[in-house]
Structure formats: structure tokens, C-alpha cells
Structure 1
């Protein structure tokens, strides 16, 4: 079955493939203090329990991605990142819409995620999508200055 979702700016969302690992690592590294190496993305992309979604143009230039892990009737958003040139244009929302639409066709009934409590654009997006904060994790995200940020644990029921 072909999976394909529309996205803004002439982009679309489709499942990621192993060949996308290098681009995902690059975008992740631009988005987080501790980016994940290409090999980590290869491992995830080879595992059917961790589907990834890419927002890209017709020439498969990737503007952003989302990676989840599924276990029984739950899933976790492991990471989502948008290339700095594409931020603020609805790419993250399009990726989350695709993730949620795809999960609605699966046995998954609840989606979890962690987000830095200071990442207000992401928190606003997740709240608009029906997520609510269920817990916090102090010292979860390392920062360049040696301190650590608190993560909000958010969840959303899928029906």
C-alpha cells in the first residue's frame, strides 16, 4: 500500500527508507545538541517497529522527518526534526498529521512523546494536536553549557 500525505510548500510526506539515514542524521544534528549518528538511523529504519516519515519534495530533498517506535497498542515519538530552512512553515504539523493518520490504521491506541519544557513552538503544536502533559523528567535533555533541561512527557489517546 502506497502511503503519501500532502504537506505545505510543495512538499509531501512519505515513509522514510534506509537510504534516507544520512539526511535524517544531518537534520537531527542541526536540531538537537546531541544529534544521532547515521548508523543509529539505519538501525531504526531497518526495524519495522520504528517507522519514520519524511517531508520531502518531488526530488526527495528532505525538509524534515518524524520517527516513532511501536510496541503493542502504544507508540512513542522518538524524535521529530525540521531542517532550519523549513521551520515555521507547517512541516512539523504535516509530519505529525501523517504519523497520527497512519497510527489510526494500526493497533496503536496511545502515542507518547517527550519535549523540552522550553520548546514552546513544539508544545503548542502538540497541544493543538490533542496531547496533554502527564509527567515531567528532570534533567532529561543535556545542554551545551552542562546543565540539563526538564522534559514534559505528553500523551494522546488515538481512540
Structure 2
């Protein structure tokens, strides 16, 4: 399967009426999903919440917190059936541009050390290792650390 997109995705702000689709996708992709309340609160708090679409069908979503010259990617997900096709890369590139539009100088994210595919993508996009946050994520047995990564927007313009 090619990692190149055959069609271009579209992006739009997430709405309250998207939450049912987002929650359904979240429960398929993650063993410890965000709750409906997490997404609702993100929208109500004014976070930058987005959906990635293909032919009006939601294939992914993201929550980005923007403040004080920083962007913090809280959640980014591509549905399982859409992974490995370049949708994640296109969505991340879009989110980086959103952060730039809000004059963010840096963009942070956390990722599980076990998520090697995402870590490789983030590295290719210019994110660098910053630190390890111990026991950050719930796991099947205990907790899993988080790799904190940073994109310096000035270095990757």
C-alpha cells in the first residue's frame, strides 16, 4: 500500500455534532480513550479542535491548545482504516500551519514510546526529543511513559 495520498484531505473546525463520530473512532483506536466530556470541554474551552475529512467523511481529528506563543497537541488521531496512507502526515502538516497562523514559536506533543510509527512521523516532520515523562499514560499493566517532543517553528519554516 502506498503511503502517498491519492486524494487530498480537507480540514475543518470540529463541531459538537462531530463528537459521536469522534468518540466512536477514539474507542476503536485507543485502549484508554478520551471521554465525550474531554472533547466537549475542549470545544467549550476554545481549544483549536479539527477534523480531517475525505469526501465529507471524518477520517481523523485533533485537539490543539494554543497559548503564549506555544502550541500543544493534545490529541491527534487517524481512523484505523485510514492509517498508513499519508493522512496522518497531511493532517500534522495542516496542524503545524494552524499553529504558525497563531504565531506559535514551538509545538509540543506527548507520545507513547511504544507508538513507533507516530514517533517516526513526528521526527520526519522535525519534532525532536525533549524529555521522558514517567508513568504518564494508563497501560494494560501499570502505566506507560510519555516521550515529550518539540517542534521549533523557527528552525522548520
Whether TM exceeds 0.5 here: the answer is yes
Task: Judge conservation of contact 2:66–2:99 (CA < 8 Å) in 1.
Answer: no
User: Normalising to structure 2: TM-score of the pair?
Assistant: 0.88
Say which SS state the counterpart of residue 134 (structure 1) adopts. strand
| Counterpart residue number, 1:153 | 148
Whole-Å Cα distance in 2 between the matches of residues 133 and 106 of structure 1? 23
| Counterpart residue number, 1:75 | 71
| Counterpart residue number, 1:4 | none
**2:15 equivalent to 1:17:** yes
What do the CA deviations read for 1:117-155 (whole angstroms, capped 9, x no partner)? 1111000000011000100012111112x2221110000
**2:30 equivalent to 1:52:** no
Task: Judge conservation of contact 1:45–1:52 (CA < 8 Å) in 2.
Answer: yes
| Counterpart residue number, 1:88 | 84
User: Normalising to structure 1: TM-score of the pair?
Assistant: 0.87
Say which SS state the counterpart of residue 118 (structure 1) adopts. coil
Say which SS state the counterpart of residue 104 (structure 1) adopts. helix
Whole-Å Cα distance in 1 between the matches of residues 48 and 22 of structure 2? 13
Task: Judge conservation of contact 1:13–1:94 (CA < 8 Å) in 2.
Answer: no
**2:102 equivalent to 1:106:** yes
**Paired residue for 2:57, among 37, 41, 61?**
61
How far is the alpha carbon of 1:87 from its aligned partner? 0.8
Could you tell me which runs of 5 or more consecutive residues in structure 2 were left unpaired when the two chains were aligned.
Answer: none
**2:8 equivalent to 1:8:** no
Could you tell me which runs of 5 or more consecutive residues in structure 1 were left unpaired when the two chains were aligned.
Answer: 1-6
How far is the alpha carbon of 1:9 from its aligned partner? 4.5
Whole-Å Cα distance in 1 between the matches of residues 38 and 143 of structure 2? 23
Q: Which deviates more from structure 2 when the two are superposed, residues 35-44 or residues 79-88? A: 35-44
Whole-Å Cα distance in 1 between the matches of residues 99 and 38 of structure 2? 23
| Counterpart residue number, 1:38 | 36
Task: Judge conservation of contact 2:66–2:102 (CA < 8 Å) in 1.
Answer: no
